[in-house]
């Protein structure tokens, strides 16, 4: 299993796929499983956050889903509910069931960084903010 160290946290990549305009990276942090989905900006019906990523061919991608696996069911990212110094409490939702998970600070950005490393993508929304 391939691993990525971001800050002082280690993330193990379990699976990746790039099929039909959907990019997916499934990874493990501690004993928790997560998936991040990206799709083409032009065809995305739902986006999570404001991240913008480019492929090597110049296609623009957005994050369409961030999920957490609990009891063999995938829960969808809703929001960061509480911020701490080194961690944040993140709300995930499935139907009427909600789960709060304490994760490393800026977990959304970490998940996106893992996907960028796996697929050789470049995050462009940060460049625009840094230039401003």
pLDDT at residue 56 in the model = 87
pLDDT category, 132, cuts 50, 70, 90? very low
- Alpha-carbon gap, residue 43 to 58, rounded angstroms: 15
Q: Domain locations in the chain?
A: 2-77+107-131
pTM strictly above 0.75: yes
Closest listed residue to residue 21, CA positions, set 6, 46, 38: 38
Convert the pLDDT of each residue in 39-98 to its tens digit: 988 776 778 888 889 998 888 999 999 999 999 999 999 999 988 888 999 999 999 999
Cα end-to-end distance, the chain, whole Å: 39
């Amino acid at each position: 299993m391939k691993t990525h160290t971001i800050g002082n946290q280690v993330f193990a990549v379990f699976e990746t796929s790039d099929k039909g305009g959907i990019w997916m990276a499934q990874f493990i942090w501690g004993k928790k499983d997560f998936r991040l989905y990206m799709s083409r900006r032009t065809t995305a019906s739902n986006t999570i956050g404001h991240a913008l990523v480019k492929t090597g061919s110049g296609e623009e991608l957005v994050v369409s889903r961030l999920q957490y696996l609990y009891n063999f069911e995938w829960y969808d990212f809703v929001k960061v509910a509480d911020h701490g110094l080194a961690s944040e409490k993140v709300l995930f939702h499935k139907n009427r069931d909600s789960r709060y998970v304490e994760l490393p600070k800026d977990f959304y950005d970490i998940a996106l960084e893992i996907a960028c490393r796996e697929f050789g993508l470049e995050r462009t929304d940060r460049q625009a903010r840094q230039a401003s």
